[in-house]
Amino acid sequence: MDINKIITEEIENFLNEDIFAEKAKEPKDSVKKGKKLKNGLRADFDAKKERETNPNLNNQDNEDLSSIVDSDLIDVAALAKRVYPDHTPQGAQSQLRKKIKGLKSDSGSTYKLKKKEAFKIRRELAKEI
């Protein structure tokens, strides 16, 4: 065999092994995605860590909270401004309404309340009482 051919094959083998090893190290579930921040900035976002620290509410809790907030006694617009202070007033109301009513997004997934959002809603409702 020619020495150049052997060297070329060994280099190709090394590169193929290295590439596959790097891909195997990254678990698919914790891929970091870009998170939008103010002024066009971006930050890393770990979806797996977010699911662990801020899970969706279970269906019963979501229905209980939704029935309270969706009643005529609660001003959803004012509540939404306090729960989502970084949003515009219309955006905050829209997001809270979609999550309370359990509407579907364009991709087909259902909007759900997160644990931290539910905590903020309960805290704001307790202030009103």
Tens of pLDDT, residue by residue over 43-94, are 787 778 878 887 777 777 777 888 888 777 888 889 999 999 989 999 999 9
The residue with greater pLDDT, 31 or 9, is 9
Query: Residue 43: which residues within 8 A CB-CB, separation 6 or more?
Result: 34, 35, 37
pTM: 0.59
Question: How much of the chain exceeds pLDDT 90, in percent?
Answer: 11
What is the SS3 string spanning 56-82? ECCHHHHHHHHHHHCCCCCCHHHHHHH
Distance CA(68)–CA(63), nearest Å, equals: 9
User: What pLDDT score was predicted for residue 55?
Assistant: 79
User: What pLDDT score was predicted for residue 81?
Assistant: 92
User: What pLDDT score was predicted for residue 129?
Assistant: 61
Place of tokens 């309340």: 113
Question: 100: helix, coil or strand?
Answer: helix
Backbone angles phi, psi at 69, to 5 degrees: -75, -30
Indicate if the pLDDT at residue 116 is higher than 80: yes
